[in-house]
Amino acid sequence: MVQVASIAGSGVDAPAALVHFTGQLAESVIEPDFAFLFYGSDHDDAAAYAALRSRFPSVPLVGGTSCSGVMTDRGLAGAGSIGVLLIEDAEGEYGSASALFAGDPAGAAEHALHDALRAAGCPGELPELIWIYQAPGQEEAVIEGLRRIVGDRCPIIGGSSADELVAGEWRQLGPDGPFAEGLAVGVLFSSGGIGFAFQGGYEPTGPSGVITRVGFDPTGASGIATRTQGRHIVQIDGRAAAEVYNEWTGGALTERIDKGGNILADTTLCPIGLDSERSGEVPHYLLVHPAEITPERGLKTFATVEEGSRIYAMRGERRRLVERAGRVATTARERLAQSSSDIAGGLVVYCGGCRMAVGDEMPGVVREVANSFGPVPFLGCFTFGEQGSVLERNVHGNLMISAVVFGR
């Protein structure tokens, strides 16, 4: 039988939140076989790791920084919060591992997955779920590395670690402690079954165009980078990408075209979308968040795009981003193919950019998830990139929401 517990600590600052968290951790009746640990970027990673290890010295662990803390079934814990999801499953198998990118993110991912499978005592086996938490920037390469081992035969779900100000202060956490510029991988062979879903809360507005030029990054600093794919859209339909995109947004960036710079906050509710797959006649859009206007009036993005791809102007609303969280949680529950009384708990990845856009309506997100999951514990983190499965294909996107449900 699977049992799940969520614990969160909050306070006036990170040290106070850690004290609160440690006290609750000491009272846990769960003896976990796996743990997810997330916290605001102002925390001392080593102290957070030590707090968990002092209570559970050998539990497989995946986690890292989350934009403005965590949420649980008891509510939004606050900017400096720290939270853990504990899974007890004596009949399942679980393992985790971590690796630094060191110039080869695909190779690091492949190595970490093998290590996690060995840690679970299941080398060469196909897990029910692979869960990843990584530094932003190399997501497509990480997924490619994992695919070398499992293809798309099992879902790869997770997120890119985040901070509060998009200042690069994100870190990751694995079974051996905290680190930066790498990834942590968990493999889950649950005895109670797992349901999952991965969606965005946006819709197309009408305009679209073809990417006719992508900037070349020979260093690979933007993930997979060649002369035809990368994270810098130079032209759309033969014109400067930022000018075309500004027209799509009704001139929302007119004052920024010449100045350039960071536009993440300006574009959260009007990203671009890739028509990734179709279910019958229904398109499924993978969202891409424009991050920066470059000197040549191009667009830097938080996900890789390819020349020749058609992209679409997308639109989101705060209300829909709130409601979508509940729908994603419902879909994950339904895919578990069990009644709500058979759910042990859940895990939610909610885009940090969406969190910022939703603002003071975030308590509504918590309520929507809680209503969908039912009266069970869950933990949510806020990320700067999301990974999941769309029509049985593992992908990386932006401004997305994923939910994982663990059966009893």
**Same-domain pairing of 334 and 193:** yes
**Same-domain pairing of 114 and 153:** yes
User: In angstroms, rounded to a whole number, what is the distance separating the alpha carbons of residues 32 and 344?
Assistant: 13
What is the structure's pLDDT at 221?
Answer: 46
**Same-domain pairing of 220 and 272:** yes
**Same-domain pairing of 310 and 393:** no
Q: Which of 268, 287, 315 is the last residue of a domain?
A: 315
Strands (E), 10-60: 34-39
Q: Which of 315, 343, 370 is the last residue of a domain?
A: 315
Strands (E), 201-309: 203-214, 229-236, 239-240, 261-262, 272-279, 282-288, 290-293, 299-306
What is the structure's pLDDT at 25?
Answer: 96
What is the structure's pLDDT at 284?
Answer: 80
Q: Cβ of 114: how many Cβ atoms within 10 Å?
A: 16
**Same-domain pairing of 186 and 331:** yes
**Same-domain pairing of 223 and 345:** no
Phi, psi for residue 59 in degrees, rounded to 5:
-65, 135
Q: Which of 315, 339, 355 is the last residue of a domain?
A: 315
pLDDT per residue, tens digit, the chain (408 aa), is 999 999 999 999 999 999 999 999 999 999 999 999 999 999 999 999 999 999 999 999 999 999 999 999 999 999 999 999 999 999 999 999 999 999 999 999 999 999 999 999 999 999 999 999 999 999 999 999 999 999 999 999 999 999 999 999 999 999 999 999 999 999 999 999 999 999 998 999 999 999 999 996 654 444 454 567 899 999 999 999 999 999 999 999 999 999 999 999 999 999 999 986 655 566 788 999 999 999 999 999 999 999 999 999 999 999 999 999 999 999 999 998 754 568 999 999 999 999 999 999 999 999 999 999 999 999 999 999 999 998 889 999 999 999 999 999
**Same-domain pairing of 154 and 232:** no
Angle formed at CA 202 by CA 140 and CA 348, multiple of 5 degrees: 60
* 333-338 LR contacts (CB < 8 Å, sep 24+): 333/195, 333/372, 333/373, 333/374, 333/405, 334/195, 335/195, 335/196, 335/197, 335/405, 336/193, 336/194, 336/195, 336/405, 336/407, 337/193, 337/195, 338/193, 338/195, 338/407, 338/408
Q: Which domain holds residue 226?
A: 203-315
The pTM for the full model equals 0.94
**Same-domain pairing of 72 and 162:** yes
What is the structure's pLDDT at 314?
Answer: 97
**Same-domain pairing of 229 and 336:** no
What's the structural domain count of the chain?
A: 2
**Same-domain pairing of 193 and 335:** yes
**Same-domain pairing of 117 and 215:** no
**Same-domain pairing of 220 and 189:** no
